[in-house]
Amino acid sequence: MDAMKRIDKTLTTAIEQSLAASVAQASGSGCPTRLAAALRYAVFPGGARLRPRLTLSVACACSEDHPGIADSAAAAIELIHCGSLVHDDLPCFDDAPTRRGKASLHSAFGERLAVLVGDALIVMAFETLVRGCASAPHRLAALTTIVGRGAGTPAGIIAGQAWECEPVAPLAEYHRAKTGALFAAATMAGAAAAGAEPGPWRMLGERLGEAYQVADDIRDVASNEAELGKPVGRDAILGRPNVARERGLDEAIVYLNKLIAEAIESIPECSGAAGLRAVIERQTQSFLPASLANRVA
Amino acid sequence: MDAMKRIDKTLTTAIEQSLAASVAQASGSGCPTRLAAALRYAVFPGGARLRPRLTLSVACACSEDHPGIADSAAAAIELIHCGSLVHDDLPCFDDAPTRRGKASLHSAFGERLAVLVGDALIVMAFETLVRGCASAPHRLAALTTIVGRGAGTPAGIIAGQAWECEPVAPLAEYHRAKTGALFAAATMAGAAAAGAEPGPWRMLGERLGEAYQVADDIRDVASNEAELGKPVGRDAILGRPNVARERGLDEAIVYLNKLIAEAIESIPECSGAAGLRAVIERQTQSFLPASLANRVA
């Protein structure tokens, strides 16, 4: 196993264990059976776990001293993400029949449990931070603030989704809130979990978030459903802006490469900067499916 | 103005100011206009603000040393409550056309903003705690845990609502989670905000929560819509259990009085215990509308 694969596996184990602990806690004594099953369904099996991998990679680059804090921060970010997927898929929004290659949560458990699971995952994110910070409670306030801003209002992913309810949505603000905010929270939380200043890590998350959004637009136009695990061509059906449709596939891929380069360039000086650059380069290769990945520089 | 009215007015001012600060923060720069309006609509004007009044009354009885912490804890509890009302009113749950004497949030702003407002209010609750604890960050973990347990799973109000999605729901657990959990969080948060041990304050909240639930059942059977500000007879329509319908009005009122007496009896020894007993006696008189209130001992 090469070094990068070993790192990948270590990160995966830490993320899945931390998420499993949160779901076990939330499904404990007294929890209604179907709610517990729906919580588990919303979190496992995951997608690429991009955001929590970012959190752990940044924490590691910043020489974290309490790995349990970074694990809980990574899980909190992913729980917020999972909750947002469940609510975005609801009939009143995207009415998505599938997600991550299986029935969407409301298709499998009904709309009522989908509303409640999304709510519960938000609460779980903050509870997870408390447990993770037990050994260093002075880091809890900063992490809660970072996760709250990435999730909520005025400019987190909830606000980003709310732009779809406005008569006119400024495209940059929409994408920055809807996708960028939680990626920025992911990198900043990694730094804060390690006791580093989170501010300088915002740009890495924002650029990666925008890159991921552009890649998502490209996939929606150029991929196929089997490869993607969810329906394609949804942006056109739902009337949502799509960079690849508006500027063409080639230009969108050039733009994607530029954003990834800027992200890597923005990595602050820290003991693990070189390793982190390698991790980000590798991780961004997975933004596009295999049939398009060779077009990412 | 008598002493009790003065206390009432002081509590009201503290609660409304703390809520206004949270809504202003959440509606700040970058917030979509309709989302900001919907957030304000969900929080103002309020109902009786029973839960945050409890939090402040308990904090005061425990000789709070940082009033800002109790104010933020009270606001956090009320934000969770407001969010739960917005989601409970959704078409997939109660499909309630009105709430607090005006159109329900989804009737006024649409279902999509109702989902997002409920989500945003949960995030705001935790952010509000961080701001309130700025002067005493060592109290943040306990308060976050208390609010999280009252709100979420396995046995908070989200789990309580989820009992409606189970084929069989044990009545005691349903009510304990759906109503009791947030009342218990309200009293425990008041104690924790004042630096007191929260555990002994659980029973006061649980009994008051159950009393409030019984009063709600009585109102649903015996009140009228103009007095209540929401439709009556909904439990029968929605097939939900109702103590007053099942045991009769007289027996339900006897039971209500018993719960209130147990609540008052449970108040732990503290410097302000006598004053708190008087506050609770007065507050529980408002559990029933004027036409029934004289039947509460």
Say whether B98 sits in a helix, a strand or coil: strand
Q: Which of A34, A72, A116, A153 to mutate to test the interface with B (most CBs of B within 10 A)?
A: A153
Q: Inform me whether the C-beta atom of residue B12 falls under 8 Å from chain A C-beta atoms.
A: no
Q: What is the pLDDT of residue B290?
A: 74
Q: What is the pLDDT of residue A96?
A: 94
For residue B45, whether the previous peptide bond is cis, meaning omega lies within 30 degrees of 0, is: yes
Q: Inform me whether the C-beta atom of residue B105 falls under 8 Å from chain A C-beta atoms.
A: no
Looking at per-residue confidence, does B240 or A26 come out higher? A26
Q: Inform me whether the C-beta atom of residue A140 falls under 8 Å from chain B C-beta atoms.
A: yes
CA distance B47 to B260: 20
Q: Inform me whether the C-beta atom of residue A144 falls under 8 Å from chain B C-beta atoms.
A: yes
Contacts of B124 in chain A (CB under 8 A): 148, 152-153
CATH assignment of the domain containing A224? 1.10.600.10
Structure tokens at A237: 């059906």
Q: Answer whether B111 sits within 8 Å of A92, measured CB to CB.
A: yes
Task: Work out the burial of residue B224: count CB atoms within 10 Å of its CB; fewer than 13 is exposed, 13-18 middle, 19 or more buried.
Answer: exposed
Sequence-distant contacts of A172-176: CB under 8 A, at least 24 apart = A173/B30, A174/A241, A175/A209, A175/A210, A175/A213, A176/A206, A176/A209, A176/A210
Q: Please, which pLDDT band fits residue B155 given cuts at 50, 70 and 90?
A: very high
How many CB contacts within 8 angstroms connect chain A with chain B?
195
Residues 165-224 of B with CB under 8 A from A: 165-166, 169, 173, 177
Residue linked to tokens 């609770």: B280
Statement: residue B289 has pLDDT above 90 = no
User: Looking at chain A, which residue has its C-alpha nearest residue B93?
Assistant: A112
Say whether A66 sits in a helix, a strand or coil: coil
Q: Which residues contact B150 (CB under 8 A, 6 or more apart)?
A: B77, B80, B156, B157, B181, B182, B184, B185, B186, B188, B189
Q: What is the pLDDT of residue B59?
A: 97
Q: Answer whether B154 sits within 8 Å of A34, measured CB to CB.
A: no
The neighbouring-strand residues paired with B98 are B103
Query: If you average pLDDT over residues B1-8, what whole number do you get?
Result: 76
Q: Answer whether A159 sits within 8 Å of B33, measured CB to CB.
A: no
Task: Give me the phi and psi of B232, to 5 degrees please.
Answer: -105, 170
Contacts of B163 in chain A (CB under 8 A): 32
The per-residue pLDDT for range B201-211, each reduced to its tens digit, is 999 999 999 99
Q: What is the dihedral of CA B38, B40, B43, B45, to 10 degrees?
A: -110
Q: Does A103 reside within a domain? A: yes
Task: Give me the phi and psi of B99, to 5 degrees please.
Answer: -160, 135
For residue B42, give Cα distances in angstroms to B51, B83, B119.
16, 8, 12
Residue linked to tokens 């730094």: A191
Closest CA to A254 of A278, A227, A228, A218: A218
Query: If you average pLDDT over residues B15-26, what whole number do you get?
Result: 98
- The length of chain A in residues reads 297
Closest-CA distance of chain A to residue B159, Å: 6
The per-residue pLDDT for range B65-77, each reduced to its tens digit, is 898 999 999 999 9
The neighbouring-strand residues paired with B102 are B99
CA distance A196 to A10: 22
**Nearest neighbour of A30 by CB, restricted to B113, B124, B155:** B155
For residue A137, whether the previous peptide bond is cis, meaning omega lies within 30 degrees of 0, is: no
Per the structure, how many domains does chain B have?
Answer: 1
Q: Answer whether A155 sits within 8 Å of B31, measured CB to CB.
A: yes
Identify the domain containing residue B39 by its residue range: 3-293
Residue linked to tokens 């147990």: B262
Closest-CA distance of chain B to residue A127, Å: 6
Statement: residue B116 has pLDDT above 80 = yes
Angle at B171 between CA B165 and CA B174, to 5 degrees: 55
Output the average pLDDT for chain B.
92
Q: Does A175 reside within a domain? A: yes
For residue A147, give Cα distances in angstroms to A79, A81, A140, B130.
10, 11, 11, 12
Beta strands in A60-107 (DSSP E): 98-99, 102-103
Q: Does A187 reside within a domain? A: yes
Q: Does A279 reside within a domain? A: yes
Q: What is the pLDDT of residue B11?
A: 92
Are the CB atoms for B158 and A120 separated by under 8 Å? yes
Statement: residue B8 has pLDDT above 90 = no
Beta strands in A51-146 (DSSP E): 98-99, 102-103
Contacts of A159 in chain B (CB under 8 A): 30-32, 35, 120
Residues 227-286 of A with CB under 8 A from B: none
Statement: residue B272 has pLDDT above 80 = yes
Query: If you average pLDDT over residues B9-16, what whole number do you get?
Result: 94
Are the CB atoms for B249 and B221 separated by under 8 Å? yes
Q: What is the pLDDT of residue A4?
A: 78
The per-residue pLDDT for range B181-196, each reduced to its tens digit, is 999 999 999 999 999 9
Q: Inform me whether the C-beta atom of residue A83 falls under 8 Å from chain B C-beta atoms.
A: yes
Q: What is the pLDDT of residue A293?
A: 67
Q: Does A154 reside within a domain? A: yes
Residues 35-74 of A with CB under 8 A from B: 35-36, 39
Please, what's the b/e burial string for B138-150 (b: 16 or more CB within 10 A of its CB; e: otherwise)?
Answer: ebbbbbbbbbbbb
Chunked mean pLDDT (size 10), chain A, 297 residues: 79 96 97 98 96 96 93 98 98 95 97 98 98 96 98 97 92 90 98 97 97 90 71 77 87 93 97 95 84 63
Q: What is the pLDDT of residue B292?
A: 75
Q: Does A162 reside within a domain? A: yes
Q: Answer whether B148 sits within 8 Å of A130, measured CB to CB.
A: yes
CA distance A262 to A209: 12
Structure tokens at A209: 């978030």
Which ipTM value was assigned to this complex? 0.95
Q: Which residues contact B234 (CB under 8 A, 6 or more apart)?
A: B94, B96, B220, B240
Q: Does A215 reside within a domain? A: yes
Q: What is the pLDDT of residue B158?
A: 98
